[in-house]
Structures are given as structure tokens and as C-alpha cells.
Structure 1
Amino acid sequence: MTELSRLPGRAEHVWEWQATAACRGTGSEWFFHPEGERGEERATRDETAKRICAWCPVRAQCLRHALSVQEPYGVWGGLTEEERRRTLASTRLRSKT
């Protein structure tokens, strides 16, 4: 039998911010590009996702999460994967100086 006192406990507080996200229920196709999508189609989809993020009440938490776990795909907190990589690289450079 599992000894319950040794379990880590409830963790929903880590994800509670997602319940009020502007993207909730909109469909992941706005935030994650299909394989091979390039050019104007991708730029248009990214801009649509960013417009949704722009008025999101939990944008900061979303971006903080994506940066902390180095989320490799999609628009999170208003930034694309490329923009997040640049942000992380810039942060690393500043911390070295």
C-alpha cells in the first residue's frame, strides 16, 4: 500500500493560471504551426496568436513558464519559439557579464 505521507502533495497551484488564459478554448492550431508551415502563412498565424496573447490576463505567467521549461514549440506569452530562444540567449549573455 502507498504511504500517502510520502507523496509530494497537490500541485494544481502550479497550473492554475491556465484557467483564465485568453487562449483557453480557442484551439491549438492558432499557437502551434503545422509541419512545414513557412513564410506568410506562418507569420499570419503567429500574429493572430500574438493578438490573443496581447490581452491575456496571465501573459506574464505563460511566458515565464515557457522560458523556464524552454518550451520548444508554439507561441507562449506572446513570443514565438525563435523569439524565446533569443530572449534566453540574451539573458544568458547578460548573466555572464
Structure 2
Amino acid sequence: MSEYRNTVPGDWFVDPVRLGVPGVRRPRSVDDDDSALAWQADALCAQTDPEAFFPEKGGSTRDAKKICTTCEVKTECLEYALQNDERFGIWGGLSERERRKLRRRA
């Protein structure tokens, strides 16, 4: 019969970034696989209705863009979208069409 362990192991750790705790992110100096996406924990869009950021064709993007204007990780979000060729949704306050124009100018 196995012995029941009623204590938490000493090496047990819950990562608040992976859990998506708002306001918690790793320092930018951390160099691991998760650090590139750590900004998402602070993204305002993660705390709102995702449908606003992925409207149907012809739908309004106004609400999503308004949320982006006050988001503290707007720059990281836009950089991610550009680097990963995100073709749908509002990222960093820009629509897919606006991101295409930005790429052409660069």
C-alpha cells in the first residue's frame, strides 16, 4: 500500500505567469521559452471578451482598439503579431489590414 503524502513537496512551484495572473510577468532579462510571451499576462484583452478582438468580416473593431489604447503591453503585442504574421484580429491596436500597410512601409 502506498503511503499518502500530506505535505507539499519542497520543489513544488506554481508559476503565476503561466497561470495568467494579471499584473504578474517575468523580468525582461529572463531568457527561457516562456519569456517571449510573458507580456500576455498583462494584456487587457485577456481580461475582456475575445470576440471584440476577432470580429466577423465587416464587424466593428472600435471597442477592441479602444481597449488597446490604454494597454501597457500594446507594443509587445504588435511586435508579436508582426513577427508571427498574425492574419486575424486586432493586435497592438491594429487590424490585419493596418498591419499589412505597416509591413509595406518598413
How does the TM-score come out when normalised to structure 1?
Answer: 0.73
How big is each residue's C-alpha offset from its partner over 1:45-70, in whole Å with a ceiling of 9 and x where there is no partner?
31110000000000000000001111
Q: Aligned pair 1:28/2:45, yes or no?
A: no
Percent identity, aligned pairs only, is 38
Instruction: Give distance in 2, aligned partners of 1:90 and 1:10.
Output: 32
Residue correspondences, number: 76
Structure 1: any 5+ residue segments left out of the alignment? 1-8, 92-97
Secondary structure of 2:44 counterpart: coil
Instruction: Tell me which residue corresponds to 1:4.
Output: none
RMSD of Structure 2 on Structure 1 (CA): 1.4
Residue 70 of structure 2 aligns with an amino acid whose one-letter code is: W
Q: What is the TM-score of this pair, normalised by structure 2?
A: 0.67
Deviations 1:1-55 (A, max 9, x none): xxxxxxxx94111110000011112121000022xx32xxx2xx31110000000
Is 1:63 matched up with 2:63? no
1:16 to 29, 38, 62: 38
1:47 matched to 2:62? The reply is yes
> Which ranges in structure 2 are unaligned for 5 or more consecutive residues?
1-30
Q: Runs of at least 4 residues of structure 1 off by over 6 A?
A: none
TM-fit CA distance, 1:75:
0.3
1:26 alignment partner AA:
T
